[in-house]
Amino acid sequence: MWYLFSILKNYSKFVKSIFISLNMEQDIRWIQRFDNFEKACKRVFEITESDKTVDDLSDLEREGLIQRFEYTFELAWKTLQDYLMYLGFDFQTGPNTTIQLAFENNILTDHDAWRKMAKARNLTSHPYDEDEVLEITGDIFSTYSLLLKQLYEHLNQRRLETINNKF
Q: What is the CATH number of the domain that holds 20?
A: 1.20.120.330
Q: Buried b / exposed e across 125-139, counting CB within 10 Å, b at 16+?
A: eeeeeeeebeebbeb
Q: What is the pLDDT of residue 27?
A: 63
Nearest to 149 by CA among 31, 44, 60: 44
Q: What is the pLDDT of residue 146?
A: 98
Q: What is the pLDDT of residue 7?
A: 64
Q: What is the pLDDT of residue 8?
A: 53
Q: What is the pLDDT of residue 43?
A: 97
Give me the residues of the chain with pLDDT under 50, please: 12, 15-23
The whole-angstrom separation of Cα 85 and Cα 55 is 41
The whole-angstrom separation of Cα 54 and Cα 124 is 17
Q: What is the pLDDT of residue 133?
A: 85
HSE-CB for 36 with a 13 A CA cutoff: 17
Count of structural domains, the chain = 1
> What is the domain range of residue 18?
2-166
**Residues 113-159: pLDDT tens digits?**
999 999 999 988 776 688 888 999 999 999 999 999 999 999 999 99
The whole-angstrom separation of Cα 61 and Cα 70 is 14
HEC sequence for the chain: CHHHHHHHHHHHHHHHHHHHHHHHHHHHHHHHHHHHHHHHHHHHHHHHCCCCCHHHCCHHHHHHHHHHHHHHHHHHHHHHHHHHHHCCCCCCCCHHHHHHHHHHCCCCCCHHHHHHHHHHHHHHCCCCCHHHHHHHHHHHHHHHHHHHHHHHHHHHHHHHHHHHHHC
